[in-house]
Structure 1
Amino acid sequence: MRHLLYRTEGYLRAEIIGAEPERFIRIALREQIRIWNIMRTNETTLTCSIALTDSNALRMMLKESKCRIRILEKNGLPFYLRKLKLRLGITAGLLFFMLLLLILSNMVWSVRIDGADPKLTDQIRNILRQNHLYEGSLDLFVPDTSQLENALSTKLTKVTWIGVSRKGTTYRINVVEKKYPNPKEVSGPRNLVAAKQAVVQRLYVENGQPLVESDQFVKAGQVLVSGKIGSDESFKFVSSRGKVIGETWYRSEAQIPMTNHYTFYTGKDYNRYQLKLWNMTVSLWGFKKQPFKAYDLETVRKPIRFLIWRTPFVLLKQQYRQTKQVTRQLTVAQATRDVIESLEKKLLDHLPEDAKILNTDIDDKKIVRGQLYLRTHQVVHENIAVPKAINVEKEKKKMKKKPQ
């Protein structure tokens, strides 16, 4: 430890030459100048290490002791810095080169996206760019892989699964797109039959023979539009096309609390950056201990790399996101409206696109332990016609068996 202190302050290794070199040692101790490793070379010469001091004081000591000095070595940080100053260009170039290597070692060199079509790939790259991830960006400012996955999953609705992984300076995005089965279209002769029981409201027939009329009750599977046209003596089979709008009915139940507690983000955030070396932490930016009264804290750890090695330095990013809690007390009318809107939306998600809910009637409503319970039924107008293939051979046999 003492040797490290001497090297930091700087010292001289020198020969003290004179009739009484010991006198120089006594004067140095009197002036509280550190001297160590004293060795006698001969009767008039001593070799010792002298702590770096004022040159004028050293000159006065030599004059008083009637000795002279010959410097053998100059050691320590001050002399090393003087050498660097003389070679400033080389030193600056070396430092710049090391800094450049450090930056290049912590850059993102490649972002690979697997399993996505070109359109989805462009969407993913735009979202990643909003989160500071692109070729040439600094990895120190890229969010954690789990945060990237959440950002992508939230904004991409046509994706079943998405994973983000990192290896070295490369990020890989693996995507599994949603694949919907293509509906099997019935080709050739076909009827249009009822998908469910309903009361027929309107018919839009493009091809085929209608077998029902408005305000007629039909059961599931009943033929609405026949693919057989013509008389019994002269007929042919066609592919029926069209829509049959029927009135259908659905029942549903739901409940909702009368008092709701919400926590949401206000949009304000505060970032703190720290540099960590083992158990020591130094704040680089953001010195507030608690920027908000209520907040969510996310910490991202980014190890600093140099070429292929991971250094003991870690950049910590702490993001404070301000939150606010709100309590909403619903009236019976508000709660009823919210439940009906939720039920209708849920029902429409399972109906054809052109389906319409005419009205929703409440069958039962009650409040139990702070919860509003509703039982309702909905009246819907929707297309109930679905195609069903005709077995031509079977139909022809039936026609032959009919009495003439």
Structure 2
Amino acid sequence: MRHTNHIKGYLKVEIIGNDPERFIRHCVRERIKMWQITRKNETTLICYVELIDSDTLQKGLKETNCRVHILEKSGIPFFIKKIQKRLGIVAGILFFVAMLLLLSNMVWSINVDGADANLEEQIRTILKQNHLYEGSLDFFVPDTNQLENALTTKLTKVTWIGVSREGTTYHVNVVQKKYPKPRKVTGPQNLVATKQAIVQRLFVETGQPVVESDQFVKAGQLLVSGVIGNDKTVSFVSAKGQVIGETWYHSETQIPLVSQYTLYTEQSYQKYRLRFWHLSAPLWGLKKKPYTNYDLEKVTKPIRFLIWRTPFTYVTEKYRQKKMITRTLTINEATEEAIDSSNKKLLAKLPKSSKIIESIIDEKKVIKGKLYVRSHQVVHENIARAQAINREQVKRKINEKKD
């Protein structure tokens, strides 16, 4: 009986009077529930009674000339009254716990090691674009593998980059590419050819040209001399300028005539779940499969409280819609693409001022659905490089000529 009246509430009371049984009979007539009635003495009964309005209780006490002493109050209504009296304390405790939970899952610092100032600024900008910055909630930060891919894709001056998380701190370790510093030739110098070519144009700032346009030169051949004068008076200068030569390169490229590739649309759908052990409750997004073809990116973030990891995890599922595209090329289209691809690869290896003058197809054939193209490119590029002058050796040769 006590449990059935717990929701409504009940009282444990002492009924005091010359004839307390009259009050019991009155409650029975009024259908007021009472149970566990025991006698304390001749004038006092102890029992449990359901919670009723005070007017009904006062009426019964007046008719029976009894009075009631409340010993215990139980049930949800009394519990709610207790909470209401301590509402400020309860609200403060809940707010304090919520703030601790929030701060325990916040990113407090991001350490970048192994990067210079400019690279570190670029890294922090990319991380911020991916919702990782000091003060952000860890729930919305992508997985460390996704962060590494985003950084590696956009940073060209990095050999290796790693992202890890420790508590409320993210660590980014960087290994920058180290390019060898170009050796600067100090003092007198000549300009010599870096490869065989046919000289097209000369732009000489200082020094004495020793080759002409349309002249064939070999690698290491002198182009512009830093030795000026005759056998009697010789002076040494630092030869400077550019010698544009015509060079030749060969390439082989293969292009499939029919190919399939995946194209992502701009459509995406996200689901958010709260998981407790093996149980999962959806927070947002109820569609089972929003698209027919899609790629699923799932990020699972543990919910922490101070230094402890709770059994709750926050799961983000991102569905990216995709579609399969079949591309069919004609022989002419595939040939143009092959030439364009080989030209881009070649220019990536040459100095920035280089220009491809002509691309000539030497051979093309179709084998097993692929077009094979063999071609050569005619390029105009600067073929001059500095070479230091050995003054003593030059003077010795001049003296040998005089003798």
TM-score between both structures, scaled by the size of structure 2: 0.86
2-side partners of 1:341 and 1:265: how far apart? 25
Cα deviation digits, residues 304-357 of structure 1 (max 9, x gap): 222222222211111111112111111111111111111011111111111111
2-side partners of 1:4 and 1:255: how far apart? 82
Match of 2:301 in 1: 302
2-side partners of 1:195 and 1:39: how far apart? 115
Cα deviation digits, residues 114-145 of structure 1 (max 9, x gap): 23333333322222222222222222211122
Shift of 1:159: 2.1
Match of 1:137 in 2: 136
Shift of 1:42: 7.7
**Which segments of 5 or more consecutive residues in structure 2 lack a partner in the other structure?**
none
2-side partners of 1:177 and 1:339: how far apart? 34
Cα deviation digits, residues 44-83 of structure 1 (max 9, x gap): 9887777879999999999xxxx99865433454432221
Question: Residues 178 and 235 of structure 1: is their aligned pair in 2 closer, same or farther, counting only changes over 3 Å?
Answer: same
1-side partners of 2:57 and 2:259: how far apart? 83
Match of 1:218 in 2: 217
Match of 1:187 in 2: 186
Match of 2:318 in 1: 319
1-side partners of 2:176 and 2:2: how far apart? 66
2-side partners of 1:125 and 1:176: how far apart? 16
Question: Residues 365 and 20 of structure 1: is their aligned pair in 2 closer, same or farther, counting only changes over 3 Å?
Answer: farther
Q: Give the SS at the match of 1:215.
A: coil
Question: Residues 21 and 336 of structure 1: is their aligned pair in 2 closer, same or farther, counting only changes over 3 Å?
Answer: farther
Q: How many residues align?
A: 403
Question: Residues 14 and 196 of structure 1: is their aligned pair in 2 closer, same or farther, counting only changes over 3 Å?
Answer: same
Cα deviation digits, residues 79-135 of structure 1 (max 9, x gap): 322210222222222222222222222222222222333333332222222222222
Shift of 1:214: 0.9
Q: Give the SS at the match of 2:349.
A: coil
Question: AA paired with 1:244?
Answer: V
| Range moving further from structure 2, 121-130 or 327-336 | 121-130
1-side partners of 2:323 and 2:51: how far apart? 62
2-side partners of 1:377 and 1:222: how far apart? 24
Match of 2:256 in 1: 257
Question: Residues 76 and 348 of structure 1: is their aligned pair in 2 closer, same or farther, counting only changes over 3 Å?
Answer: same
1-side partners of 2:381 and 2:4: how far apart? 90
Question: AA paired with 1:323?
Answer: K
Shift of 1:372: 0.5
2-side partners of 1:154 and 1:98: how far apart? 40
Cα deviation digits, residues 344-378 of structure 1 (max 9, x gap): 11111111111111011011100000010010011
1-side partners of 2:172 and 2:281: how far apart? 34
Shift of 1:6: 8.5
- Give percent identity, aligned residues only: 61
Cα deviation digits, residues 279-310 of structure 1 (max 9, x gap): 22111111111111111111111112222222
Question: Residues 309 and 329 of structure 1: is their aligned pair in 2 closer, same or farther, counting only changes over 3 Å?
Answer: same
Question: Residues 6 and 193 of structure 1: is their aligned pair in 2 closer, same or farther, counting only changes over 3 Å?
Answer: farther
1-side partners of 2:174 and 2:32: how far apart? 73
Match of 1:246 in 2: 245
Match of 1:125 in 2: 124
Question: Residues 5 and 224 of structure 1: is their aligned pair in 2 closer, same or farther, counting only changes over 3 Å?
Answer: farther
TM-score between both structures, scaled by the size of structure 1: 0.86
